[in-house]
Amino acid sequence: MKNKGLIIVHTGDGKGKTTAALGMAMRAWGNHLRVLILQFIKGSWTYGELEAIKALSSAKRCIDIRQGGLGFSQRESGKQDEHRQAAIDLLRTAEQELQSDTWDMVILDEFNYAYSFGFIHIDDLESLLAIRPAHTHLIFTGRNASPELIDRADLVTEMRLIKHPYQEGIKAQKGIEF
């Protein structure tokens, strides 16, 4: 019997939204589910998970990760149009991939940022949810999840900031942040 696909949201100002989604991807991979991770906003930064997923995909199982943004640090005002276009392009990819019905889990990492920046419209969200195959789990990450997404979700977790090393001036470290 096929899964009942869930709409899952990881939001909040604490750390762990993307890493929890990657944990789910790993768990799904271990169960032979086909997993696609599409990353909004993030650009060509070398995250450790890219290497890990490359290794997992060579085990003849379907797992893929693609970055469709220009990078978090590049959000200067002059590039708004490019950021918007990149988000729309990745959204179209997400729609095509969902339509093709080749995935059991699709993670839209940092989607909530692209949405809250106004790059993605509520109609796009509606159509994305409408074309999702019934068995496919969809995971959305990023701060400031919209009320309309939360409303439609089956599972919503808020990561709450209690302490973060940045507050002590400790910079991003390998294996922890990237």
> Among residues 11 and 18, whose Cβ is nearest to Mg ion?
18
Told to check if 144 binds ligand ATP by CB under 6 A, we report no
Give the residue among 97, 37, 47, 106 at the shortest CA–CA distance from 72: 47
What x/- string results for residues 88 through 127 when contact with ligand ATP is judged by CB under 6 A?
Answer: ----------------------x-----------------
As a whole number of angstroms, the distance between CA 39 and CA 90 comes to 8
- Give the C-alpha distances (Å, rounded to integers) separating 125 from 7, 60, 108, 137, 149: 12, 32, 11, 15, 8
Q: In the complex, what is the shortest distance from the CB of residue 41 to Mg ion, in angstroms, rounded to a whole number?
A: 9
Question: Which spans of this chain sit near Mg ion (rule: CB under 5 A)?
Answer: 17-18
State yes or no: residue 143 binds ligand ATP (CB under 6 A).
Answer: yes
Binding span for ligand ATP by CB under 6 A among 30-38, 81-89, 126-134, 160-168: 160-168
Q: Does 45 bind ligand ATP (CB under 6 A)?
A: no
- How many helices (H) and strands (E) would you count in the chain? 6, 6
Q: 53: burial class by Cβ within 10 Å (0-12, 13-18, 19+)?
A: buried
Stretch that binds ligand ATP, among 58-66, 83-91, 129-137, 139-147 (CB under 6 A): 139-147
Residue in 174, 171, 109 with CA at minimum distance from that of residue 141: 109
Question: Which of 7, 8, 9, 18: binder of ligand ATP (CB under 6 A)?
Answer: 18
